[in-house]
Structure 1
Amino acid sequence: MGKLEGKVAVITGGATGIGRAAARRFIDEGAFVFVFGRRQAALDAALAELGPNARAVQGSVSDEADLDRLYAAVKAERGALDIVFANAGTGSQSRLGEISVEHIDEIFDTNVKGTILTVQKALPMMGKGGSIILTGSSAGTTGAPAFSAYSASKAAVRNLARSWAEDLKGTGLRVNVLSPGATATELAKEALGEAGQKVFAAMTPLQRMADPAEIGAVAAFLASGDSSFMTASEVAVDGGLAQL
């Protein structure tokens, strides 16, 4: 029996990369998973891999109506919710002096507003023992050239967990942050190219980028009872990148 046997999970940004790897691990541990994302083709591909214990809902985390549809689908099929992995995120480069309002809005709408809405709309369906996981980033600790808006958004996510742990006192719900470093997702490989991947690997004490499955494994730990005395914590899964 897996450590998530009988649990129901929602994973935003669940069609590709870290979200998809986490969905695979959650299902392997016995969970039923709803993956949520913007691109229907990617969701269809994820479902083909994940099998019968997964469902997909298309939409954006910054759109309240889309999230309402997601949680209505969860309620209709499963009745309640045990795990929320607020993983959807976006980021792009823009140096100080060149940052546009559109750049700020795109990043904060997804990474901050989207995270808040994802969790807040899930709360009525969650009860004692539930786990909320937020995706942070090593950039939220270290900063990065031309990534100030992204880094600031991930620092905000880290504080959401601290503040929400206070708000959730007495509910039996836990909230923690999972902060990856450079991870070899499809998007990262495409954006960085071979040379860029080598640069990020060289910056990391372990001298490589993470496999998405390694991040998914830690998400499963935070979702399970093995992390039952953890809340308001940040778990860095970054190969040491932000720790030295």
Structure 2
Amino acid sequence: MGRLDNKVAIITGGARGMGESHVRKFVSEGAKVVLTDLNEEGGIALANELGENVRFVKQDVTKAADWEAVVAETEKAFGPANILINNAGISMSKSIFEMTEDEYRKIVDINQVSVFLGMKAVIPSMQKTGNGSIVNISSMNGLVGGAIGYTDTKFAVRGMTKAAALQVAGLGIRVNSVHPGVIETPMVTEGDAVDTIKEFAKHIPIQRVAQSEEVSNLVLFLATDESSYSTGSEFVIDGGLTAM
């Protein structure tokens, strides 16, 4: 038996990187998964590869109408949702002196507003099952400083997680945040900061960056009933960086 047998999950930003890792892990543990992304080609390919227990829905996570469509498609295909992984997000390496208002608002919409919209849209579906687990992917920069825009929104995700957790605890729904450090994803390995990341890794107490699957293992735990008494909490997976 899988740890997520009979569970229905929605995972945003699921076409590549950490999101793809989460999708693969959840399917391997028996979940039925709706993965969403703007990357239609990658999302369709992954869904086709993983088979009948996976659906792809193209989604702009900043649009409430898209969230409504995702929940409707999930219920049509698999039934009410038990799990939401708010994984979609972006980063931008610009200082406060360089970043424009439009660029800042884009980060806020994708990293922060989408989490609010996702929780608001999915909670009614979870109420139909009498239980649910929402996992909001924040960052170690939701605990300590980092890039402008990215840090701000990841702190906000942490706060929203706590506020929402208190409001839905009586409904049998749990809400937690996950705070990864440096993860080996395409955002890191395909960017212009590869050499910088390699050098930075030497200063991580564990002395390496994390693999996506290591984060997926933590996300999986929070999605399962094994974490039934955990809500409103932040779970850090950063190789010891924020302990320094």
TM-score class, shorter-chain normalisation, is over 0.9
Would you say the 8 A contact 1:23–1:50 is kept in 2?
no
In 2, Cα distance between the equivalents of 1:243 and 1:103? 31
Question: Unpaired runs of 5+ in structure 1?
Answer: none
> How far did residue 160 of structure 1 move?
0.5
> How far did residue 45 of structure 1 move?
2.6
In 1, Cα distance between the equivalents of 2:142 and 2:194? 25
SS of 2:157's equivalent? helix
Would you say the 8 A contact 2:136–2:161 is kept in 1?
yes
Alignment deviations for residues 87-128 of structure 1 (CA, whole Å, 9 cap, x no partner)? 111110111222210121110000111110011101111033
SS of 2:5's equivalent? coil
In 2, Cα distance between the equivalents of 1:85 and 1:33? 11
SS of 2:4's equivalent? coil
Aligned residue pairs total 242
Partner of 1:220: 220
In 1, Cα distance between the equivalents of 2:184 and 2:65? 32
Question: Unpaired runs of 5+ in structure 2?
Answer: none
In 2, Cα distance between the equivalents of 1:55 and 1:78? 9
Residues 225-234 or 96-105, more deviating: 96-105
Partner of 2:167: 167
Would you say the 8 A contact 2:188–2:194 is kept in 1?
no
Would you say the 8 A contact 2:135–2:178 is kept in 1?
yes
Partner of 2:24: 24
Partner of 1:134: 136
In 1, Cα distance between the equivalents of 2:40 and 2:88? 15
TM value normalised by structure 2: 0.95
> How far did residue 48 of structure 1 move?
3.6
In 2, Cα distance between the equivalents of 1:199 and 1:141? 22
Is 2:173 aligned against 1:182?
Answer: no
User: Which letter maps to 2:34?
Assistant: F
Partner of 1:61: 61
In 1, Cα distance between the equivalents of 2:192 and 2:25? 26
Would you say the 8 A contact 1:59–1:66 is kept in 2?
yes
In 2, Cα distance between the equivalents of 1:61 and 1:154? 16
Partner of 1:200: 200
**Regions of 4+ moved over 6 Å:** none
User: Which letter maps to 2:149?
Assistant: A
In 2, Cα distance between the equivalents of 1:193 and 1:109? 24
In structure 2, the CA distance between the partners of 1:50 and 1:197, relative to structure 1 (3 Å rule), is farther
Q: CA RMSD in A?
A: 1.2
Alignment deviations for residues 183-241 of structure 1 (CA, whole Å, 9 cap, x no partner)? 01112111245412312312311111111111111110000011110000111111111
User: Which letter maps to 2:101?
Assistant: V
